Amino acid sequence: DTRYRQREVDLLANPDSRRVFDIRIKAIAALRRQLVSEDFVEVDTPILQPQAGGALARPFMTHANALDIDLSLRIAPELYLKRLVVGGYERVFEIARNFRNEGVDTRHSPEFTALEAYRAFGDVTDGMDLTERLIVEAARTVADELTFTVGERAIDLTPPWPRRSLLDWLEEIVGHRLHPSDPVDAVRSVCTEHGVEFLPEWGSGKLIFELYDTILLPTVVDPVFVCGFPVAVSPLARRTSNDPTLADRFELAIDAKEFANGYSELNIPEEQQERFRGEAEAVARGDLEAHPADLAFVRALEYGLPPTSGIGIGVDRLIMLLGGVEAIRDVILFPMMRPEAHS
């Protein structure tokens, strides 16, 4: 704890801490440089928002005295970035501090850094390509190699990275095909069989995601793009052309963690409003992580969002990998801590 509370002393006394943060500085500069070289422009979007959107997470709340309104700290910059694409900035990115009022462990911090980038006239495949280029460039910049060791695990970032269907991979693990259209009781029984906990209000799509998160993700070591997630857990993503229950979405998994998320963006205002309506019903049922209805975003879509590719990369987890450390607090200069106990 003393290392985290007095980081200035830690940096003076511990050369390995300084090494990790030097890696962080170089990696973020490399990510920024690569995006600028591909004609993306860096922008700033609000941290204080009328309602937090762009992800499924529980926000921190605060109050603006001057306006006498409640505000959320952002959980993601996504909706504002897509509004900028509507406004004619066809390639935008932000390296942003986000805030989620959730658990703290070796992989999660309530305050964390993410990179989000949006490209007009792109799709989910373009998003995977860009994600791979960015991470490989950051790795080569900080280490001039693509093999890293975390704990006793050697992780090889050499491209190209495999792209696997979520439902196909899950079928290999559980022994039979699952689909978001399956009866919920059937998917619950698979969850129970594999020790996956669930809430009674979850539908088949959410249950399939929990199976992925609990029994598939922990098996991953080297990078793999997992593709085709249920629409039920992808409220801002476009449906696939051949299955309306699945979204054109990927997650990048490395070392049993989600490193990136991206999709072909939903750009149909009527469908987005309907999805928001479904999320609002989930909120009414007590789901604290459901996506709020953002009418300003729906209005922006009515002006016309071109086909767009969007990605988000967890910067802190990337630095954990490049620095060979196991805990997210070791890559955040001043991580959130409990107050010190004073005798």
Cβ atoms of 248 and 98 within 8 Å: the answer is no
Q: How far apart are CA 265 and CA 313, in angstroms?
A: 16
Does the pLDDT of residue 340 top 90, yes or no? no
In tens, the pLDDT along 8-64 reads 999 999 999 999 999 999 999 999 999 999 999 999 999 999 988 888 788 999 999
Q: Is the dihedral of CA 83, 307, 229, 113 positive or negative?
A: negative
Q: For residue 49, what are the β-bridge partners?
A: 72
The amino acid at 35: L
Q: Is 214 helix (H, G, I), strand (E, B) or coil?
A: helix
Average pLDDT of the chain, as a whole number: 94
pLDDT the model gives residue 291: 74
Residue 40: both structure tokens together: 């993306």
Q: What is the pLDDT of residue 320?
A: 97
Q: Return phi, psi of residue 155, to 5°.
A: -120, 125
DSSP code string of 248-316: EEEEEEETTEEEEEEEEBP--HHHHHHHHHHHHHHHHTT-TTSPPP-HHHHHHHHHHPPSEEEEEEEHH
Indicate the pLDDT class of residue 288, thresholds 50, 70 and 90.
Answer: low
The predicted structure's pLDDT at residue 343: 53
Q: What is the pLDDT of residues 213-256, one digit of tens each?
A: 999 999 999 999 999 999 999 999 999 999 999 999 999 999 99
Q: Is 224 helix (H, G, I), strand (E, B) or coil?
A: strand
Q: φ, ψ for residue 43 (rounded to 5)?
A: -130, 170
Q: What is the pTM of this model?
A: 0.95
Per-residue pLDDT band at 342 (split at 50, 70, 90): low
| Cβ neighbours of residue 166 closer than 8 Å, sequence gap 6 or more | 208, 212, 216, 226, 227, 228, 229
Average the pLDDT over each of 81-90, 287-296, 311-320 and give the range with the smallest value.
Answer: 287-296
% of the chain residues with pLDDT over 70: 98
Q: Residue 91 pLDDT > 80, yes or no?
A: yes
**What pLDDT is stored for residue 213 in this prediction?**
97
Separation between Cα atoms, residue 82 and residue 99, nearest integer Å: 19
Nearest-angstrom CA–CA distance, 292 and 295: 9
